Amino acid sequence: MKFKVFLINLDKSTDRLELCQNELKKYNIDFERIPGVYGKDLTTEEVETIYDESRNDKHYKKPLSLGEIGCYLSHIKCWQKIVDEKLDYAVILEDDFKLDSNFKEFESVFEQMQNWDYVRMAFSSRKVPIVKRHKITNTRDLVYYKKIPINTLAQAVSLEGAKKLLANSKTIFRPVDVDMKHYWEKEINILGIDPPLILDRYDFTSEISQMSDGKGRMSKTSIWKNLRYVLNYKIKHFFYSFIKQDLKSFCK
């Protein structure tokens, strides 16, 4: 299969790049660095082209920060490269990961899969419950989460998944990781691997994640907006959780 490992890294984050290089080299993983989009460098015109304030007001709790917009654009760059280079899939990493010692098992996992779009590869610090699982290799299960964990630390995106994501991200109005929770809007399936192949680093947080204000998103928003968002999400999540494909259908 034709695939690449992409690492999103800001130009200024040379220390993080070195740490990631060392981690990937330890396991003989070739990768391509994708320069992260620094939100504060975006022009007003660039922001207005991609950011839909009206939909943000209707469908999210608070306006997006420049950092959140830059983070989203960084992932869009990766999806576009998957399509442009006609890759079967790409593993997309932000620069705060720690590889599991058996990380290279991802190749055997994806060799056993078909018709998938997006697979989370990372541990979630919030311990989101797994509701369904299906063995894909001797050591890994394909899983559905009770709800999609927030973070875009590490994921694999297929060619078809990248096409769907690009088609449904012409404009943006929520952070990229929050948008993945609304997978039905992107017309994709989101799966997970358990045990995970990538862990969080506890000694620092990715500047990509810091840019996107992953923590504290509840601040500076009205109670009404937050309630409206939460209720709308729960209703749709409840509905779509009943019509997910059987995990076996993603296995050859």
pLDDT, one tens digit per residue, over 80-136 is: 999 999 999 999 999 988 899 899 999 999 999 999 999 999 976 667 899 999 999
Domains of the chain: 3-250 (3.90.550.10)
pLDDT at 201: 56
Which has more pLDDT, 195 or 209?
195
For residue 146, the 8-state DSSP code is S
**Separation of CA 247 from chain center:** 20
* 23 close to 98: Cβ distance less than 8 angstroms: yes
* 245 close to 113: Cβ distance less than 8 angstroms: no
- How high is the mean pLDDT of the chain? 91
Write down the pTM of the prediction: 0.92
- The CA-atom distances, in angstroms, between 104 and each of 5, 84, 142, 176 are 11, 25, 16, 26
* 109 close to 100: Cβ distance less than 8 angstroms: no
Q: Is 168 exposed, middle or buried, given 0-12, 13-18 or 19+ CB atoms closer than 10 A?
A: middle
pLDDT at 246: 97
Q: Give the count of alpha carbons within 13 A of 143, CB side only.
A: 20
pLDDT at 124: 63
The pLDDT tens digits for 135-177 are 999 999 999 999 898 889 999 999 999 999 999 999 999 999 9
Res. 72: pLDDT tops 90: yes
pLDDT at 8: 98
Tokens of 33: 């660095």
3-state helix, strand, coil in the chain (%, to 5): 40, 20, 40
Give percent of the chain with pLDDT exceeding 70: 90
**Separation of CA 129 from chain center:** 18
pLDDT at 125: 60
- The CA-atom distances, in angstroms, between 116 and each of 5, 106, 125, 136, 164 are 17, 14, 25, 13, 11
pLDDT band at 209 (very low <50, low <70, confident <90, very high): low
* 80 close to 72: Cβ distance less than 8 angstroms: no
Res. 183: pLDDT tops 80: yes
Res. 202: pLDDT tops 50: no
pLDDT band at 204 (very low <50, low <70, confident <90, very high): very low
Q: Is 20 helix (H, G, I), strand (E, B) or coil?
A: helix
pLDDT at 199: 79
Cα dihedral 131/136/139/145 (nearest 10): -20
